[in-house]
Amino acid sequence: MAKHSLTRREFINLSAGALAAASTTTILLQPQKLFAAGRLALSDKIRFASIGTGVRGCEHLQASLSVPGIECVGVCDLYDSRHTAAREAVNNPSVAATRDYRSVLDRKDVDSVLIATMDHQHRRIFEDACAAGKDVYCEKPMSHTVEDGFSMVDAAHKHNRMVAVGSQRVSSVLYAKAKEIYDSGKLGEVFSINAYWDRNSPSGAWVYPIPPDASEKTIDWKEFLVGAPSVPFDPIRFFRWRCYKDYGEGLGGDLFVHLLSGIHFITSTNEPAQRAESSGGLFHFKDGREFPDLIETMYDYPKFRVTLRCNLNNNGGEFIAFYGTQGTLLIKDNTLSFKPEDTRPDPEGYSVFGWPKEMRDAYYKKWHDEHPEPPALGWKVDHTGESYVTPPGYSDTVDHQANFYAAVRSRKPVVENEVFGNHTSIGCHLANFSYFNKCIAVWDPASKKIVKG
C-alpha cells in the first residue's frame, strides 16, 4: 500500500480505539432476581423428578437447590451408582430413586420431569411424560432425529404441556444483553454470523473414564438399548455415548445446538436453516468413534448466513460474532462486547494512489469542499464500545430452570419451547446429514425432511 497520510476514518478509528481503550468500562451484569414478584409464586411448590441423573442430571439437581419454589421428589437412572450421585447432588439421601421412569410418571405428586438422558431416549420419555400430564424440561438437543422432533412437538401440543429445552444460554443475562443490543439496531444490518466452540482435551472429546463398578448388574443395559440396535454390553458405548450415532449426534448435538440456540434467540429466529454444508474430519480421536473431531458448517438463513465450527483439537473456547454494517457484537465465553464502526463519509484513501498527483489533489480538494471537516481538536468521538461480563459463579442453568418453572406456574411458554428446540435440533441434523452424505443438506419444510441438495 502506498505511503499516505491518515484518512479521516483512520484518524477517527485510531482516536476511538485509543479512547475506547481508555474509557470503555466493563459492566458486570447482575443475575435475574429469582424471587421477584410475578416470576414465581412461592406458596405452592412444584415437585419435579429427574429422569437421567448422569453428569448433566446431577448438575441440574445441584442447580435446582438455588431455584426457589421447587422440590426434587424423585430421581431415576439406569445405573445404580447414579442414584447415589443424584441423592448427593440434591442433598437429600432419602429422595426416592428408581431405574423405572414409568413409575415416576405414575406418581401423582410429580408435577414435572427433567429429562437428562442420552439423546436417543429423549423422545419416548418426553412423549410418555406429556401423556402422563407432566410438564417437561428436556435436555438439548431435543431430538435425536428430525422425525423424533416433530413427534415430540405434537405430543406437547396434544397434551397441552409446558416444555423447556435445555440450551441454557437462552436464559443467560449475557445473551439477554446481546439481544438488547442486537434489537436496538446499533449493528445496522447483520448478514454474517460466525460461531465456534473448541475444546482440546480427552474430557472435551468425551473420553470419560469408565466407573469401576460398571457392569450388567449395576446398569440396565436392555433399557438403554430401547430405540437403538441390540449390541452386547459395552460400557464404552454407555459412558461415551456421544461418539456413536445410535445414541447421540456428535459435535452437532453436543455443541452446535448451543450456538444455534444462542443465535436463534438473539436474532429472534424461529425456523430451521434453509440449507447447510459441512466439512471436517476425524483427525485425532481415532478411538472407534463414528463422529468427526472437527466439523465446520455453513448455514443459509433467509436474512443472513451462519458459519459454525467445533474443533476438539484446539482450546479456542466458546465464541459468537454478529457482523453488522454499523458494528460488531462479540460473545467470548462469559464476556460480551460491542464495537461500532465509523460509517461517516470518507474520501477514497487507496485507489487514488494510482492516479497522477495533480488529479489526486484535485479529487481531494473537491471531496473536502463537498464534505467540510470538523476542526480536528473539536471532534467528539461518540463511537466507544461497550463490554459486559457475568459475575463469578453465575449460572445460566439456574436461570433456565427458573424460567421453566415460572412457565409451569403461569402457563406462558418459555422462549426455548418445543418448537424452538425442534428448529435448533434440525440444525444439528442438517450439519450431520451434509457431513456424512458429502452433499448440501436442504431443509424441505413441505415434507419436514432433509433432502440432498
Q: Which residues of the chain form contacts with ligand NAD (CB under 6 A)?
A: 51-52, 54-57, 76-79, 82, 101, 116-119, 121, 125, 139-140, 166, 168, 223-224, 241
Residue by residue, what is the 3-state secondary structure of the chain?
Answer: CCCCCCCHHHHHHHHHHHHHHHHCCEEECCCCCCCCCCCCCCCCCEEEEEECCCHHHHHHHHHHCCCCCEEEEEEECCECHHHHHHHHHCCCCCCEEECCHHHHHCCCCCCEEEECCCHHHHHHHHHHHHHCCCEEEECCCCCCCHHHHHHHHHHHHHCCCCEEECCHHHHCHHHHHHHHHHHHCCCCCEEEEEEEEECCCCCCCCCCCCCCCCCCCCECHHHHCCCCCCCCCCHHHHHCHHHCCCCCCHHHHHHHHHHHHHHHHHHCCCCCCCEEEEEEECCCCCCCCCCCCEEEEEEECCCCEEEEEEECCCCCEEEEEEEECCEEEEEECCEEEEEECCCCCCCCCCHHHHCCHHHHHHHHHHHHHHCCCCCHHHCCCCCCCEEEECCCCCCHHHHHHHHHHHHHHHCCCCCCCHHHHHHHHHHHHHHHHHHHHCCCEEEECCCCEEEEC
Fill in the amino acid letter for 160. N
Closest distance of CB 191 from ligand NAD, Å? 29
Q: Which is nearer to ligand NAD, 174 or 181 (CB)?
A: 174
Q: Which is nearer to ligand NAD, 125 or 260 (CB)?
A: 125
Q: Which is nearer to ligand NAD, 165 or 352 (CB)?
A: 165
Residue nearest to ligand NAD (CB): 54
Q: Which is nearer to ligand NAD, 101 or 197 (CB)?
A: 101
Closest distance of CB 308 from ligand NAD, Å? 17
Closest distance of CB 166 from ligand NAD, Å? 4
Strand 275-281 to strand 294-300: parallel, antiparallel, or no bridges (unpaired)?
A: antiparallel
Closest distance of CB 139 from ligand NAD, Å? 3
Q: Which is nearer to ligand NAD, 57 or 427 (CB)?
A: 57
Q: Which is nearer to ligand NAD, 113 or 153 (CB)?
A: 113
Closest distance of CB 418 from ligand NAD, Å? 15
CA neighbours closer than 13 Å in the CB half-sphere of residue 361: 3
Closest distance of CB 396 from ligand NAD, Å? 9
Q: Which is nearer to ligand NAD, 12 or 415 (CB)?
A: 415
Q: Which is nearer to ligand NAD, 258 or 383 (CB)?
A: 258
Q: Which is nearer to ligand NAD, 140 or 177 (CB)?
A: 140
Closest distance of CB 120 from ligand NAD, Å? 8
CA nearest to 113, candidates 140, 133, 92: 133
Closest distance of CB 297 from ligand NAD, Å? 18
Closest distance of CB 98 from ligand NAD, Å? 9
Q: Which is nearer to ligand NAD, 81 or 92 (CB)?
A: 81
Strand 335-340 to strand 386-389: parallel, antiparallel, or no bridges (unpaired)?
A: antiparallel
